[in-house]
Amino acid sequence: MHFVHMVLAIVFEVLGTSLLKYADGFTKLWPTLGTVASYAATFFFLGLALKVIPMGPAYAIWSGLGIVLITLIGLFVFGQKLDFWAVVGLGLIMAGVVVINLLSKSVPH
């Protein structure tokens, strides 16, 4: 179940961060409320995942996958551009998440 909690924490973090763009500096009510609700759900599910997954690896997975997914949303939804080094950096983040999940004994499998 900890895996499901981690996935939900990532999904709600990505949703909340995406809604920040639409909240326009917290001047639009519904995107602002959606952002707050999404972040509340994020921390709820991250807290549940932390019952099983150690804090360091959990945070690395949560933030790393969140960064990559938010970048993809920025690219495809908001038309933001990535240069070569941004792509390299994102690849390194993904490599780190893969190494933690596949090779680390810190993360329950």
0.85 exceeded by the pTM?
yes
Burial 33-48 (b: 16+ CB within 10 A, else e): ebbeebbebbeebbeb
> E strands of the chain, at which residues?
none
Residues 21-46: pLDDT tens digits? Answer: 999 999 999 999 999 999 999 999 99
**Count of CB atoms situated within 10 Å of the CB of 4:** 11
- pLDDT of residue 58 exceeding 80: yes
